[in-house]
Structure 1
Amino acid sequence: MIRIERTTYKNEHFPALVAKLDNYLSETDGDEHDFYHQYNGIESLNHVVIAYSDEVAVGCGAIKEFDSDTVEVKRMYVSPETRGQGIASLLLKELEKWTSELNFKNCILETGKRQPEAIALYTKNKYKVIPNYGQYKGMENSVCFKKELTP
């Protein structure tokens, strides 16, 4: 059984999951990893979700305010040995629920063209491709998504 917990960046399991994510991204992003990494600090993430399977932390995600109507989904990760079980969708749905509770209307995010599993996840969860925003403008590897949440 999977349990989703709401927490913050101070949760003891979050940095370890993020380290695994960063190791994966350093391989897939190649020379561009340093550019992306500079925007992925966790110290300001006060809305974090962690997935536990038999009390072992196996996945995470976070949201942070982007503007008055929108949050940005950050640091989505599920450990390779537990992928394919719907955990990422559970994490995403909990982040969307939390977003609505905080009175935001939209979720946006960026992922890489070299992460086809992530692109499939967001497409399956009704995220739409949008023009690259903010620091991702002009980044050929970036794909940005948006989902308008229903009240």
Structure 2
Amino acid sequence: MEIRVVAFDHPDAAKLTAEVQQEYVRRYGTEDETPVDVAEFAPPRGLFLVGYLDGVPVASGGWRAHGESGNVELKRMYVVESARGRGFARGMLAELERAARAAGGRGVVLETGTEQPEAIALYRSSGYREIPAFGYYGDQPESRYYGKDLVRD
């Protein structure tokens, strides 16, 4: 998989973001309503990546600054169904962490949910630990929150 930096509103990023939103609808009954601004994913306070296989966009993920803590928040991690099980999510996660660390990020935080057991398994196996709830879905019982220290890990 070739990973490229793209704008959050790039056509390939928009396509994958629309697909992940439909995945949320299938799993939770609604799209992710967390407020997101295109500018949040622009360097130096953010980044969005798309992974390509033979020129076709198959994976995405981004990070944006999370307050003034020095942490970044992961958003829109996704792999198309036909490309799952090949390690692309793990590769995307590693590249997002590398880029965040290079940009001065001290840690990564994220929110996922109980209907995404494969995401929870990925994060746990990648060194993420449970953290207190935050953000738009902070009061939702099906939400799960994880974080990882980029300075030590």
Q: TM-score, normalised by structure 1?
A: 0.90
Aligned to 1:4: 3
Q: How many residues align?
A: 146
Aligned to 2:23: 24
Q: How does 1:34-53 map to 2 (within 5 A)?
A: 37-39=32-34, 41=36, 43-44=38-39, 45-46=41-42, 47-53=47-53
Deviations 1:39-60 (A, max 9, x none): 1535232210111001100010
Which 10-residue stretch deviates more, 92-101 or 41-50? 41-50
**Alpha-carbon contact 1:78-1:87 (below 8 Å) kept:** yes
Structure 1 residue 132 displacement after superposition: 1.0
Instruction: Report the Cα distance in structure 1 between the residues aligned to 2:116 and 2:73, rounded to whole angstroms.
Output: 18
Aligned to 1:15: 14
RMSD: 1.4
Instruction: Report the Cα distance in structure 1 between the residues aligned to 2:103 and 2:35, rounded to whole angstroms.
Output: 22
| Residues 84/42 of structure 1: CA separation in 2 closer, same or farther (3 Å cut) | farther
Query: Which runs of structure 1 show a deviation greater than 6 angstroms over 4 or more consecutive aligned residues?
Result: none
Instruction: Report the Cα distance in structure 2 between the residues aligned to 1:22 and 1:9, rounded to whole angstroms.
Output: 14
**Alpha-carbon contact 1:40-1:75 (below 8 Å) kept:** no
One-letter amino acid of the counterpart of residue 33, structure 2:
Q
Structure 2 segments unaligned to the other structure (5+ residues)? none
Structure 1 residue 80 displacement after superposition: 0.6
Q: TM-score, normalised by structure 2?
A: 0.89
